[in-house]
Amino acid sequence: MAKKQAQAGDLKADKAPNVFVRFLRYVEDAKAELRKVTWPTVKETRKATLAVLGFVAVMAVILGLVDLGLSSLIKTILS
């Protein structure tokens, strides 16, 4: 009988902390992780941004040409 009562007490001790405590722990952990981050310089950020914009422009042209070609093909088939 004593073992069952001890196990019940252990379950209460292992209960997860409330939502507010868990949120605070999450924020503290996030701050600790952000301190470890090596942030890019302005020059690196500018280069990466220009690379992404260039890639988007190239893909827009390619997809536009594919769309134009397929729409012409469909018009030809349907007419």
- Which helix (H) or strand (E) element contains residue 25? helix 19-36
pLDDT value at 4 more than 80: no
Write out pLDDT tens, residues 15-58.
667 899 999 999 999 999 999 999 999 999 999 999 999 999 99
Question: Residues with Cβ < 8 Å from 17, sequence gap 6 or more?
Answer: 25
Average pLDDT over residues 60-77: 97
* Tokens linked to 59: 């893909």
Q: What is the 8-class DSSP label of residue 79? A: -
Give CA–CA dist 47/54, Å, rounded.
10
- Using only C-alpha atoms, the chain has a radius of gyration, in whole angstroms, of 30
pLDDT(64) > 60:
yes
76: confidence class by pLDDT, cuts 50, 70, 90: very high
* Confidence (pLDDT) at 53: 98
